[in-house]
Structure 1
Amino acid sequence: MKSLIPGLATALALAVPAMAQDDPLPSWNDGDTKSAIIAFVQGVIDENGDTYVDASDRIATFDNDGTLWVEHPTYAQLAFALDRIRAMAADHPEWKTTQPFQAVLENDMDALAAAGEKGLLEIVAASHSGMSTDDFEQITLDWLASAKHPRFDRPYTELVYQPMLELIDYLQDNDFQTYIVSGGGIEFMRPWTEAVYNIPPQQVVGSSITTEYRLVDGEPALMRTDKIAFIDDKAGKPVGINTHIGRRPIAAFGNSDGDFEMLEYTTSAVDGPSLGAFVHHTDADREYAYDRDAPIGALDKGLDAAGGNGWLLIDMKTDWKTIFPE
């Protein structure tokens, strides 16, 4: 398992002058985590070093929820789905007495939780289907333009992590291809990731429902059905990477056990340098503090395995000077 590059001392020596001249990660506190990231990148781009990687193989993957933007107290896409159910309720009077929709309309979070994964999938299917992909994109953008986080009272697209934006920029400046690989819906993310992260839609991998080609009023359209096509989570992430990217990443960033297999696939039994890292949510004052027992974004297995696998634990409280962009 080679998650931290060989010749780390040499790479660190290269990184120190680079940091002194122009800090590529100004929102990161100086320390082992920041130094390890910069050392990895400097080693990869050093054509004379033994850890050089050709630009075509410099692929980095990022989970989205909890890794690039806030995921508590609930996933943004789930908040979107619940708002969609409320907006559609007038056309579905049967939902008033049918679970899990009744729980959504009555804001009964206990009943919604009791509906479990099956209920959640019903909500997603009802709120995300029956329209064209173009219509769904516009609905998504309209919601993001108006919805605000319940704690921070800011749009979700403003609650992205400034240190991770800098990391994406740093990797892109050094010829890395950066991809989002998320359990979230691929078509929920694609409309806005380029504007927010500078990651274009074709470099987004996510969960999906099936679509069908149809003529609607004589015009060709892709229509979204209510059938789940692929879940891009846990063991599904390496599958999604292979399907959409076709190359194994050399760097992977996540925050929960849902990202474990992605980090494992990126760093285990790999010839050459690789880097895996979890964002560890430790800052209840500026964001949230959670790991092992969290109902959303639990980091348990990954927390135990990080040291043995050489994966970085990015401590939000100590490693980041700031959380969100000003």
Structure 2
Amino acid sequence: MSNLELDPTPVVCSSGDDARGRVDILLPREVPLGGPRAMPVRRTLPQRDRSLIGAWCFLDHYGPEPVREGGGMSVPPHPHTGLQTVSWLFAGEIEHRDSAANHAFIRPGELNLMTAGSGISHSEVATSAAPVMHGVQLWLALPDAFRHTERGFEHYAPEPVSGDGYTLSVFLGGLGGSTSPVTTYSPLLGAELQLAAGRKVSFDVSPKFEHGILLDSGRLEVNGSPVAAGELAYLAPGDAAVEITAAADGPVRMLLIGGEPFGEDIVMWWNFVGRTHEEIVEFRAAWTGEIEPGAAPPDGAPRFGLPGDSGLRPLPAPALPNARLRPRQRDGGRRNS
């Protein structure tokens, strides 16, 4: 998915303060993707108060949203650098095409993982196979040693693991005895958990990891702290287990993400992850040079390229801000439990 904001906020992302033993609740903000008729999303990463959870640097939560003419997801070809995109659906179907010649469909309970490396472009369009779109799109920052790796794509359908009142699908890393074989470049966790009404479950986790729990539906408690639908509960490193309890009035569905604190500052603007202002300027110029009529063509092979047969015009990059990309102020955006 692209960040379609016309005036994207530049962010320098770094690991947050030490909140050991505390559950912080990160509140979403609504972002319209492409204008008033396009699909709105609820964004919980990045925000002023916390920009990273492990290598997870971007989290959009959307739907249920009707798929209809002029609505749903229709994201034209757009570029990425220095990251992996993680697509996970609760309902619907999305057609993916990228400039590495990958063509695949994203369906509920199946992971699509695209590695941008030094540059890739892709498009994502909702199909008519289902009447509703509902899911999450996340980005993973690539560590400096791997951010220029080869671009690539992996598809994985995890076998759900069932226990007493719960169903767990692990698509990255390992949890609850289930492990994903998908390629990652830093220690990570990504999983969907469904929990029956009134049930409690406890999972052993790495005390080196920080974790986030995004509640999609229902009400629950994380380590005794209440979480409402759409909120992201943050847990700092230090705990060897996480306890999740569903409210008695209905089942819950959530996403669990985690990883070791990233330990590197990243500059993130529009769809690019880099390390400096100058890199972001270079990435934007390369994309503009590939897609705009009359623009200077790039020297040698194009950094990004274009996916074939998308039928959509490539998305132009927004104007850069009139100042160097600098960190956001750390205030607001959360409540402590």
TM-score range, shorter chain: under 0.3
TM-score by length of 2: 0.25
TM-score by length of 1: 0.25
Q: Which structure would you say has the larger Rg?
A: 1
- Is the strand fraction higher in 1 or 2? 2
- Is the helix fraction higher in 1 or 2? 1
